[in-house]
Amino acid sequence: MTFLFVCGGTAGHINPALGIAAEMRSRIPDCKILFVGSGRELEKRLVPKAGFHLVNIKMSGLKRGFSPDAVVYNLKTVKNLATASFESANLLRRLKPDAVIGTGGYICYPVMRKASKKGIPTFVHEPNAHPGLAVKMLSAFADKIMVTFPGLEEQYKHPSRVIFTGTPLRDGFLTENDTAENGSTKEKPVVVSFWGSLGARRMNELMTEFIKMNIENKSFFHVHATGKGGMEDMLRRLKKHGVSETGSAYADLREYIDDMPSVMKAADILICRAGASTIAELTAMGKPAILVPSPYVADNHQDVNAEQLQKAGGALMLREKDCTGELLYNEVTTLLKDTEKLEKMIQNQKSLAVADAASRIADIIIADINSAGGD
């Protein structure tokens, strides 16, 4: 059997696809799997690293508004769509996949639209609580739409095709890890903060005050990832504030957190964005969190994700515009003192987890293919 996975742009789209692909490969060892991306750096790094072949088809999104820049950009997108549709048709003709699985990103639309027209079974997984534009468009003709949270059926054109499956995770988040890497002896609580692989300039600025306050008060051990290019700027800001103990027993600054499962396992509280992959990881590990959704994401996807966790009682949500380093520090220290509330948050997070999401999705795909084949 041959499976074509289509995803693009962010880890929230790529990681679920990798999780599903790994499950399909474990079930059908001799199957062929190919990934299609839009040529962005994260796809080119994560997909081959996971052992899958990747081809790229150029595709871009849409900009809102009617400014000259937006109009020019959207005209390029229309041109890219025409080219992508042509390349998708050629790829499908050569590969003859048994199913096409999309997990979001603009590249999904031309590939899956062509697949649907050819009668190839198509499956969409939406990792966010609120569907993106590409998934909204795809939901009009996809055979099945799999979603992360229950009760989202009415957001889609064909509610009867929507199935709650949860979001597949990358390796390490659902397996026992006995070596929790925290850089400390766990004599103090552990707080972990990160803003994604590229970081976030404003949030890193706020974390300077947060780190300073914690080193002065010695409240907890803190691991912070600055993101790409953020380390130098943060060290400069800390030095300006008279802080030079970032390698002390209370602060561990890194550009990246390379082994996120073990670091998250060690954490008592996480401070982070509310991207789809992060949400799935937090719930799988049952980790209380303070979520600061990115205000730069289309359609406020991260706000809706964070609201789902806050409503369930597993996380607190703060708007970036309202944040200060002092506010974040006070929220963390208040939570750490309330062990009863922390324990409730742990249980509430775990209640949202779907440990067998990849297996559920594989069951749906295989059952539909067999049904279409008359088995």
DSSP states of 158-219 as a string? -GGGEEE------TTSSS--S----SS-SSS-EEEEE--TT--HHHHHHHHHHHHHHHHHT-
Q: Is residue 143 in a domain?
A: yes
How do 289-291 and 315-317 pair as beta strands? Answer: parallel
The answer to whether the CB of 292 falls within 8 A of the CB of 272 is: yes
Say which CATH number the domain at 366 has.
Answer: 3.40.50.2000
- Pair 221, 334 in one domain: yes
Instruction: Please enumerate, as own/partner, the contacts of 145-150 that have beta carbons within 8 Å and a separation of 24 or more.
Output: 146/360, 146/361, 146/364, 148/276, 148/279, 148/280, 149/308, 149/352
Q: How far apart are CA 305 and CA 45, in angstroms?
A: 26
Q: How far apart are CA 370 and CA 348, in angstroms?
A: 37
What's the rounded mean pLDDT across residues 141-161?
91
Q: Is residue 244 in a domain?
A: yes
More confident of the two residues 43 and 299: 43
How many domains is the chain built from? 2
* pLDDT above 90 (res 26): yes
Q: Is residue 185 in a domain?
A: no
Q: Which domain holds residue 83?
A: 2-167+355-372
In the numeric block, the tokens 């293919």 are attached to 369
Q: How far apart are CA 29 and CA 26, in angstroms?
A: 6
In the numeric block, the tokens 């742009």 are attached to 9
pLDDT at 375: 47
At residue 88, what is the residue type? S
Find the helix packing angle between 201-217 and 231-240, rounded to 10°. 50
Kind and range of the H or E run holding 271: strand 269-272
Q: Is residue 174 in a domain?
A: no
User: 77: which 2 tokens?
Assistant: 């997108």
Q: Is residue 321 in a domain?
A: yes
* pLDDT above 80 (res 361): yes
CB atoms within 10 A of CB 373: 9
- Rounded to the nearest integer, the mean pLDDT of the chain is 88
- Pair 348, 209 in one domain: yes
- Pair 27, 99 in one domain: yes
- Pair 89, 234 in one domain: no
Q: Give one word for 65, left, alpha or beta, with left for phi > 0 and alpha for psi -120 to 50.
A: left
What is the pTM assigned to this prediction? Answer: 0.82
DSSP 3-state of 12:
helix
pLDDT at 296: 83
Q: Is residue 106 in a domain?
A: yes
- Pair 113, 212 in one domain: no
- Pair 49, 160 in one domain: yes
Kind and range of the H or E run holding 324: none
More confident of the two residues 245 and 325: 325
φ, ψ dihedrals at 36, nearest 5°? -115, 125
User: 354: which 2 tokens?
Assistant: 């779907």
- Pair 25, 156 in one domain: yes
* pLDDT above 50 (res 320): yes
- Pair 220, 305 in one domain: yes
More confident of the two residues 90 and 180: 90
- Pair 204, 220 in one domain: yes
pLDDT at 184: 46
Q: How far apart are CA 76 and CA 78, in angstroms?
A: 5
More confident of the two residues 68 and 353: 353
- Pair 59, 151 in one domain: yes
Q: Is residue 95 in a domain?
A: yes
Nearest in space to 46 (alpha carbons), one of 9, 78, 101: 9
Nearest in space to 38 (alpha carbons), one of 66, 17, 68: 17
- Pair 223, 343 in one domain: yes
Q: How far apart are CA 263 and CA 58, in angstroms?
A: 36
In the numeric block, the tokens 């994700």 are attached to 305
Q: For the ranges 5-14, 62-71, 127-136, 293-302, which has the lowest average pLDDT?
A: 62-71
Q: How far apart are CA 279 and CA 352, in angstroms?
A: 10
User: 31: which 2 tokens?
Assistant: 């199957």
Count of residues in the chain: 375
- Pair 58, 36 in one domain: yes
User: 10: which 2 tokens?
Assistant: 């962010």
Q: How far apart are CA 325 and CA 208, in angstroms?
A: 7
Q: Is residue 39 in a domain?
A: yes
Could you tell me the pLDDT band of residue 83, with boundaries at 50, 70 and 90? confident
